[in-house]
Amino acid sequence: MHYIIMDLEWNYAYAHKLKGFINEIIEIGAVKLNEELEIVDTFSSFIKVQIGKKLKGKVKRITNITAQDLESGKPFTQALAEFRHWVGEGDCLTLTWGDGDIRVLIDNYKYLNGISFIPFLKKYADLQAFFHKAHKLPTTTQIGLSTAAEKLEIDVSAFDIHRALGDSLLSAEIFSKSFDAELLEELTLDCDQKFYDRLSFKAYIISRLDDPDIKSEAMYCVCKICKIRAEQVDEWAYKNKYFHSEFHCKECGTDYEVRIRFKKHFDKVTVHKRYRTKVAPDESAQDDALASREVGEAPEAPANI
């Protein structure tokens, strides 16, 4: 069993076939770790651009990759065939920092090879989600690779960051330092049809009250003063991504404006609720954000919001 920790650099390119933009991969880097988490091999290759005409300024600035570098690169199909060979046939788990690279890789395979799956991918885990869980960080924000490294007191200057191999090596270091076999198993996904369906699912805000994914049990208001449920005095109305209604506490007379938003992900619905006090007996109007919480089945992988 090996761990493949992969990172990609992309360029934003106009794709005529799509009549829209695509993130075209320009570099692939990866580290292979054995079960003892030792580095046994590395992979690094530039990929010649085929879709975009030239490198975007921002990409050049961040990565220091030049047009000459890419000229020395291989076409996507060849580079990825070599990568697949390097990964090998044995049992392996691929990890990337966030699932963005996997989404981009699928898009590139579709556009350039006409296939909608990743041939070398058997099992996958999101290293960013793993890091969040391993260090009990909130899932509401997504931490970057450098910040994660700082938290572990890893000297980032020793790595060629924002380059595919450099970021892979840094990711591997973070992975080793945060390793937890049980948690990793929990986050490991088989790359079956459901895996691809999940990745292609676009999260959306639910706007209809009769949508079966609406969690009506979340549509209440508890008086902040009396800690009892307030009475709903108005119908729910949808506006600007939120359902709005008004509540009244019979006990203390406080009126509340309640806003609630439901976001549908592949296998969960997230609920975000806000209360605003309209008339408070001893305090001026205030707006309290209640922490977002998840309702429904626990996800096997975090959804990108």
Chain residues binding Zn ion by CB under 5 A are 223, 225-226, 249, 251-252, 254
Q: How far is the CB of 287 from Zn ion (least distance, A)?
A: 17
Q: How far is the CB of 260 from Zn ion (least distance, A)?
A: 19
Q: How far is the CB of 274 from Zn ion (least distance, A)?
A: 18
Q: How far is the CB of 223 from Zn ion (least distance, A)?
A: 3
CB closer to Zn ion, 88 vs 253: 253
CB closer to Zn ion, 61 vs 229: 229
Nearest CA-CA partner of 198 in 297, 77, 80: 297
Q: Spell 70-97 as b/e; 16+ CB within 10 A means b.
A: beebbebeebbeebeebbeeeebbbbbb
Distance separating alpha carbons of residues 131 and 144, to the nearest angstrom: 10
Distance separating alpha carbons of residues 159 and 276, to the nearest angstrom: 48
CB closer to Zn ion, 118 vs 249: 249
CB closer to Zn ion, 150 vs 234: 234
Distance separating alpha carbons of residues 266 and 259, to the nearest angstrom: 23
CB closer to Zn ion, 92 vs 225: 225
CB closer to Zn ion, 69 vs 257: 257
Q: What angle do CA 119, 76, 90 make, to 5 degrees?
A: 30
Backbone angles phi, psi at 275, to 5 degrees: -110, 145
Q: How far is the CB of 222 from Zn ion (least distance, A)?
A: 9
Q: How far is the CB of 285 from Zn ion (least distance, A)?
A: 15
Q: Are strands 255-264 and 204-205 parallel, antiparallel or unpaired?
A: antiparallel
Distance separating alpha carbons of residues 40 and 55, to the nearest angstrom: 32
**Residue 215 burial class via C-beta count within 10 angstroms: exposed 0-12, middle 13-18, buried 19 and up:** middle
The two three-digit tokens of residue 257, written as one number? 């404006």
